[in-house]
Structure formats: C-alpha cells, structure tokens
Amino acid sequence: MNYTTDTITIRPIKEDDLHRLWELSFKDKDPEWKQWDAPYYPHEPMPYEKFLERKDKIVEQEDFWGIEAEGKLIGMVSYYWEHKPSLWLEIGVVIYESAYWSGGYGTKALTMWIEHLFTTMPLVRVGLTTWSGNERMVRVAEKLGMTMEARIRKVRYWNGVYYDSIRMGMLREEWEAHRSK
C-alpha cells in the first residue's frame, strides 16, 4: 500500500531501500538531521553489515515507512505504542536531507500517515512528542490540527541548554473535522 501526493509517496520500506536508508541514518557520526531529532540522545554510526541485521524490523513493516520524493528515499514516518492495550499510539517523522526541509514534505508525509493510521486502526487518538528546540516540528503538528497536551519544562538538556519536552495530540473526531476543511 502506498499513499502519494504531487511531490511525495509514503510506503513500506523495501529491501532495495536498505542501503539508501543506512546512508541517510547510520553511515555518519554526526548527521545534520540529528540536530533536530532528539539530539540529546547519542547517535552512533554503524557499519552497513550491522544495519542489515535489523532488516526484519524495517522491511515491509506496518510501523516504519519510507518517504520518497523525486524517485529517492528522503525520510521516514513511524509509530510506536506508548501503551497498546489502550491504543495509545505516538507517531514520528524524519526528513534526513536538509534540501527537503521547510518544503512541506514532512507535513504532507504526516498528513498521509495520520490518515492511514486512522483508516486502518481503531485509534481514538494519535500523538507526537518532540522538544522545544525543534520549532519546525511543533509548527507541523499545529498545521495538522494537533493540540499541545503537555509541556514538560526543562527536561531535555543539549549543548548546555535546557529545553522542554512537548507532547501534542489529536483525537479522531478532530482529525476528521480538520481534513474536511
């Protein structure tokens, strides 16, 4: 299953994507994207062979899809269960290449991802957690109609500065009202 707009497609990762995904995510020690994606957590590069050991958790999975633009993989969308018995699901997005930042790619990808999740799962709510240093992610969530549900102050420490953890969310009925506008 794929979802496509005029500029991007989101789709499950294929085996053919693995080398490109590794180059984007684990080849380099200090990739530029990591400055925005939870930089307070350490990032360790890994050899391609080690990355391939994870392929069963990446290829054709429901919870981890690629974002493709101009015929190449540029990022990914994902979800994880905060608490599966109560259907508490959190989503994420990463656009690895800076050439695609601030161009609406993340917004389009998350729009399709949320639509897919609400269409294929009996979810009541979709959430997103970020940090106050990632202002672009907060703006994307707001554009999608998400509500700031929690701001946990000064719990993310990076480069000598404390940042807030930001939790945003959207109920199914809010999504349905937002997409019908």
Render pLDDT for 16-30 as a digit per residue (tens, 0 to 9). Answer: 999 999 999 999 999
Q: Give how many domains the chain has, as a whole number.
A: 1
Q: Pick from 108, 121, 130: which is nearest to 6 by CA?
A: 108
Q: Which residues contact 68 (CB under 8 A, 6 or more apart)?
A: 8, 9, 10, 11, 74
CA atoms within 13 A on the CB side of 137: 23
Pairing of strands 161-171, 64-69: unpaired
Say if residue 74's pLDDT is above 80. Answer: yes
Residues 29-45 as b or e (16 or more Cβ within 10 Å = b): eebebbebbbbeeeeee
How does residue 126 score in pLDDT terms, banded at 50, 70 and 90?
very high
d(CA 175, CA 102): 23
Q: Pick from 55, 59, 54, 93: which is nearest to 76 by CA?
A: 93
Q: Which residue type sits at 179?
A: R
Query: How does pLDDT run across 78-122, given as a tens digit for each residue?
Result: 999 999 999 999 999 999 999 999 999 999 999 999 999 999 999
- Which pair of structure tokens corresponds to residue 175? 């999504």
Q: Pick from 166, 102, 167, 162: which is nearest to 136 by CA?
A: 102
Query: How does pLDDT run across 145-180, given as a tens digit for each residue?
Result: 999 999 999 999 999 999 999 999 999 999 999 888
**DSSP 3-state assignment of 152?**
strand
| pTM for the full predicted model | 0.95
* pLDDT (average), residues 120-127: 98
Q: How far is CA 117 from the centre of its chain?
A: 13
Domain ranges, residue 144 = 3-179
* CATH code for the domain of 116: 3.40.630.30
Query: How does pLDDT run across 33-66, given as a tens digit for each residue?
Result: 999 999 999 999 999 999 999 999 999 999 999 9
